[in-house]
């Protein structure tokens, strides 16, 4: 039990999400075509079956359905193409779709404030009256790419069966427009909803220079460090491009960048890296980027004092 508690504390410290989830927001009460949903779920996630289904190779789809008196039906899928080993044997990763209590627009204020990519997000939320949630269960042991691949496939199945008006990724605190999300995933941008790129103006430090903090949120939930850059005077769009590229690199390759190493996409770009705790909430591990003097506004333990900005 002590080992289990230690693992849970480490995951909490890192920012890891044992259960991954999104909220689907609707203006009108959603109506699910179960047969179509099952077909789409199998199309995008592979074989979906009950673990004890005797005729699992018949191509028939089975799903566990439960009913909660307060919330209504819950659909629970077993994804046989995403198996995980446990002491008791193998078990498939699972996803569940269910009704949840609808939350008003004001409860998504931090997501709305960072919705640079979707200016209509707040207005859309105000017009929504119903909510579903999609979560994964027993999927946290999958590699990040496999886990998000599974979750994205399940989400795509739901969206194509019962289109919603807004999607809220809880782990990245990001609101996305459903059609834009589907188009992005179709083009290979699988982190479109899972990674939120945020920008903050830093005030009250006494500096007369333009001081900003840019970070990502959502990667740590998948087991990969998020990214942050605390800087002066750089063009935000260029910083955003670099951070997005680094985010996709980490997602593809894993946490392979060591403290003190540099990243760069041009001959002149040599941004030094260090694992730190995030400056902005939520608490999680990030890869801090130092673009060098005179632009860096933070501090790294491996920095040469000559490189520090004044």
Mean of the per-residue pLDDT values of the chain: 88
**Token pair for 282:** 């939520």
Query: 135 to each of 45, 75, 95, 148, 302, how far by Cα in Å?
Result: 14, 11, 6, 12, 40
List of E strands, the chain: 21-26, 64-68, 72-86, 89-99, 130-137, 166-169, 174-176, 196-201, 211-217, 226-232, 262-263, 271-277, 285-290
pTM of the model: 0.88
Q: How far apart are CA 284 and CA 279, in angstroms?
A: 9
pLDDT top residue among 129 and 206 = 129
Q: Note the pLDDT of residue 245.
A: 95
Q: Which residue, chain included where needed, has tokens 């909490």?
A: 12
Pairing mode, if any, of strands 271-277 and 64-68? unpaired
Q: What are the boundaries of each domain within the chain?
A: 15-186, 196-307
Q: What pLDDT is stored for residue 50 in this prediction?
A: 46
Task: Average the pLDDT over each of 75-79, 132-136, 202-206 and give the range with the smallest value.
Answer: 202-206
Q: What is the average pLDDT across 304-310?
A: 39
Distance CA 23, CA 170 (A): 7
Q: What is the mean pLDDT of residues 232-244?
A: 95
- Are 256 and 266 spatial neighbours (Cβ–Cβ below 8 Å)? no
Q: Are 216 and 197 in contact (CB under 8 A)?
A: yes
pLDDT of res. 309 = 35
Q: Among candidates 261, 217, 232, 244, which has minimal Cα distance to 113?
A: 217
Query: Residue 97 pairs with which residues in a beta bridge?
Result: 75, 134
| Cβ count near 294 (within 10 Å) | 14
pLDDT at 125: 97
User: What's the confidence (pLDDT) of residue 208?
Assistant: 75
Q: Which of 98-112, 144-158, 256-270, 273-287 has the lowest mean pLDDT?
A: 256-270
Asked whether 196 and 158 are in contact (CB, 8 A), the reply is no
Residues 167 and 50: beta-carbon distance below 8 Å: no
């Amino acid at each position: 039990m002590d080992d289990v508690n230690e693992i849970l504390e480490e995951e909490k410290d890192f920012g890891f999400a044992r259960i991954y989830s999104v909220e689907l927001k609707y203006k009108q009460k959603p109506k699910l075509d179960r047969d179509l949903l099952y077909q789409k779920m199998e199309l995008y996630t592979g074989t979906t079956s009950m673990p004890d289904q005797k005729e699992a190779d018949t191509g028939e789809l089975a799903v566990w359905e439960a009913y909660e008196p307060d919330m209504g039906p819950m659909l629970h899928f077993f994804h046989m193409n995403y198996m995980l080993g446990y002491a008791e044997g193998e078990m498939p990763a699972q996803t569940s779709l269910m009704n949840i209590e609808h939350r008003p627009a004001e409860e998504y204020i931090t997501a709305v404030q960072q919705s640079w990519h979707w200016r209509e997000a707040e207005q859309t939320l105000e017009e929504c009256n119903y909510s579903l949630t999609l979560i994964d269960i027993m999927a946290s042991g999958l590699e990040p790419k496999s886990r998000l691949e599974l979750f994205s496939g399940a989400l795509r199945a739901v969206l194509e069966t019962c289109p919603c008006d807004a999607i809220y990724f809880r782990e990245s605190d990001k609101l996305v427009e459903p059609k834009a999300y589907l188009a992005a995933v179709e083009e290979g941008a699988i982190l479109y909803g899972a990674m939120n790129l945020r920008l903050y103006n830093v005030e009250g430090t006494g500096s007369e220079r333009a001081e900003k903090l840019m970070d990502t949120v959502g990667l740590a939930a998948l087991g990969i460090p998020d990214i942050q850059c605390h800087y002066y005077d750089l063009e935000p769009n260029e910083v955003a491009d670099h951070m997005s590229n680094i985010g996709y690199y980490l997602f593809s390759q894993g946490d392979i960048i060591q403290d003190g190493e540099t990243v760069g996409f041009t001959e002149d770009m040599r941004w030094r890296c260090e694992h730190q705790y995030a400056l902005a909430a939520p608490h999680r591990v990030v890869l801090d980027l130092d673009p060098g003097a005179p632009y860096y506004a933070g501090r790294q333990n491996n920095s040469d004092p000559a490189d520090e900005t004044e």
